Amino acid sequence: MRTGAALLCVMTLCSGGAFASECANPNAIGTSRTIVVDPRDHARIGTMSYVETLPLAENEVVLTFDDGPRPPYSTRILDLLAAECVKATFFVIGRNAREYPAVVKRIVDEGHTLGTHTQNHPYRGLRDIPASEGLDEINQGIASTLWALGDARADKLAPFFRYAGFGNTTESEAYLADKGIMVWGADFPADDWMRIGASEIVRRAVFRLHLKGRGVLLLHDIHPATALGLPALFAALKAGGYKIVHVVPAGPGLVATPTEPHDWRMVTGPHTPASWPQTPRSLKAMTFAENYAAIGGFTPQAELPLKLITPPRWMPRGADPKEKLEARARPAWPAIEKANLKDSSFLARPDPKSFGLEAKFEALTGMPVRATEPVAPPKLRKAIAVRAHHAKAKRAHTAAR
């Protein structure tokens, strides 16, 4: 009964405060507009998984954050969004919502859209678990988020859902469509769950946005590099002429934004469907060269090797766990310090060609993508050479026998 009530609440919500007031920061990128979508008209969006995407105009982007809440990173990201007058969509994990209800309340109180992301975030979504357990993951995630919101804010939970790891199943998609819950994929990621620095997150996000022209950006509010790179991302989007769009669900008093069927299809030109990441070379070549130059100078401190200081337990022993977020023991964000840089040249760096789109950048602009190849320090090179020699000798000895 509780699950049924939770789903009914999600199906009959209103956006409640989703439309932002005027921005007090004259230099902020801000939210250009708000669109209202009806989940029953378009049940699944995001070209990484589905045919349709949101009805965005050229150079428009929707920011989404997964896997939270997890302070202090989620709260820092909320601070940055507020400073730039930007509204985003958060897909929270049910167990995290129960652990940090104050952050969940803050998300909706500040006008952001709140969706769900399963209860426990199975590793490969719902594909590796029985269908009944998959539906339980969906329902429990909704119930936990409603519990975190409380009765006073229950109507602010949007009927939006994103699969953990994009691990969708036919059974769960039919179930969600029947309940009037919209499944969100994404149009491009920033790979911020990988071990990459903040400036690399910004570079990949803006680069892929340029190739698609518009779409839904996948980020995570549980990683320090994401929070560190967000100011640079806003600056890059603003320099490139991109606009941030907020999405809310239709409901009592809110009618869906009028659209045409072709508005929900990804195009890179007049009626030219693009099977991402393939893009005609002639499109936006010069503008992207200018946009890339605009973000080329961003080098946030996360680009250097960082050593994260593990924060202490949020509360002293015996304290009320509901008061975690008010604990004074929490260090000021970001609590980071530079690691020993003596052997930093051998630290693993991301391969710029790993995503496969950087070659297109070279073709578009003629500018080579700078790759940082790891170089081992002398002592380590000698040790590697010795081990290789021993292995070669062992193979020769084995072959002689």
Catalytic residues, by residue number, are 66, 220
313, 329 in Cβ contact below 8 A?
yes
120, 93 in Cβ contact below 8 A?
yes
CA distance 162 to 136: 15
Query: Residue 289 in 3-state DSSP?
Result: helix
Task: Name the pairing type of β-strands 33-37 and 188-189.
Answer: unpaired
Contacts of 283 (CB under 8 A, 6+ apart): 213, 268, 269
Contacts of 158 (CB under 8 A, 6+ apart): 10, 13, 15, 89, 113, 114, 115, 248, 249
Which residue type occupies 251? G
96, 118 in Cβ contact below 8 A?
no
65, 189 in Cβ contact below 8 A?
no
Q: Which of 164, 49, 57 is nearest to 116 (CA)?
A: 164
Task: Name the pairing type of β-strands 157-161 and 113-116.
Answer: parallel
